[in-house]
Structure 1
Amino acid sequence: MSNPNDPYIEKTVVEQPATVRTEYSAAPTSSGSGNAGWWIAALVAVVAIVGLVFMFNNNATSTDLQAATEAGRSQAMMETATAQAQSAAQAASEASADAASSMAGATQAAADSARDAADRTAEATRAAAASAQDAAEDAATAPPQQ
C-alpha cells in the first residue's frame, strides 16, 4: 500500500490469472509551466501602455487640423458640384424630351393643316370641274345666238 505522505500517483491495476500481476503507474503530467499566463498578461499590459502613450502624445498640430479642414471643405464642394451637374443634366434631358414632344406636336398639327388644305383644294377643284361640266352641257344644248 501507499504511504499517505507520498505524493499522489494514479495507479491502474490490471489483474490477470493468479500467476501474473501487473501494475502500471503514471505520475500526473503538467501541461506547461504556470508562468506562461503571467508572461502573456505582462505582454498585453506593456502593449496597452505603449498604445496609451502613443495616443496621448500624438497631438495633431494646427496645420494638420487646417489641412484636414480644407480637405473636407474641398470634398464637400466637389460633391455639391457633382450633384448640381447631375441635376442640370437631368433638367436638360427633360427639356430636350419636352422640346421633342413639342416638335412632334407641331409637326402633327402642320400635317393636319396641310391635309385639311389639300382636302379643301380637292373639293374646290371638284366643284369647279362640276361647274365647268354644267356650263359645257348648257352650251351644247342651247341654241346658237346670232
Structure 2
Amino acid sequence: MEKKKKGHLSEKEKPVMQDDRIHQRSKGRTQDQSPKEELLRLAATAVSCNVRLRSSDMPVHMQERALRCTRSFLDSSSPNLRPNNTHLARALKKEFDSVYGPAWHCVVGKSFGSFVTHSPGGFLYFSLDSLSVLLFQTVVQLVTEPTRS
C-alpha cells in the first residue's frame, strides 16, 4: 500500500476536492445542517413549487435554486399565455452560468429524450406542471493554439 505524503491528494481525491470548492460558492447553504435536514428542506421546496424530482446528481442547495428559479419564471409569465420553453431554458442556463460557472445546458419541453454526459455534481431532471426540465453542466477546457516552431 502506497503511503500518502502529508498535504498531497491522491488522484481519486483531486476531482472530489475540486467539486467541493465549486459547490461551496453557494451562499444559501449553512454548514451546520445535516444531510437529512437538507433533504427535508429540498422536499419541502419541491412540494411548495409543485415539482417532481426525477433524477439528480447535484448538491441540495443547487437543486433548490433550480426549482425556485423555474417556479419564479413560470409564475412571472403572463397567465393568458403558455410559458415559452425556450425562454425558460435560457433563463435557467444564464442563472446557473452566472452563479456556478460556465457550460450549463438546459432543455425544457413536454416530450423529449436525452443521453448526456455531465460533470460530477452537475445534473438535474425534474418536472413541474406539464413541463420537464433537464439541467446539466459539462466540462470546459481551454483551447490554446499550438506553438509554432
Q: TM-score range by the shorter chain?
A: under 0.3
Larger Rg: 1
TM normalised by structure 2 equals 0.20
Q: Higher helix fraction: Structure 1 or Structure 2?
A: 1
Length-normalised TM-score, structure 1: 0.20
Q: Which one has more relative contact order, counting CA pairs under 8 Å at least 6 apart?
A: 2
Q: Which has the higher strand share?
A: 2
